[in-house]
Amino acid sequence: MTGDPTHSGGGAGAPDEVVVDARGLLCPAPVIALARAARSLPEGARVTVLATDPAAAVDVPAWARMRGHRVLETTEDGEHLVLTVLLGPAKAR
């Protein structure tokens, strides 16, 4: 529950896929962890945020909108939220 990103993809030309485990963290920590991970990733990378703080359902899309990224999917599995963000141009980070 550190918010540290875990790289999980990026084979032969595929964009990076990263999971940010923000479970147990409270606002604004999930967004801070997401922003930290996004800084080192290329445009087109997907970042999946796992969060238990209900505020992440609002905060992550707001951050993405302000930075030129897109939230592709938001789901809840009963224990935590899963938000998938597609990163836009590097200048937006």
Judge contact between 84 and 47, C-beta under 8 A. Answer: yes
27 catalytically annotated: yes
- Active site residue: 10, 27, 28, 86, which one? 27
Judge contact between 57 and 85, C-beta under 8 A. Answer: no
Judge contact between 48 and 80, C-beta under 8 A. Answer: no
AA letter at 84: T
- Please identify every residue annotated as catalytic: 27
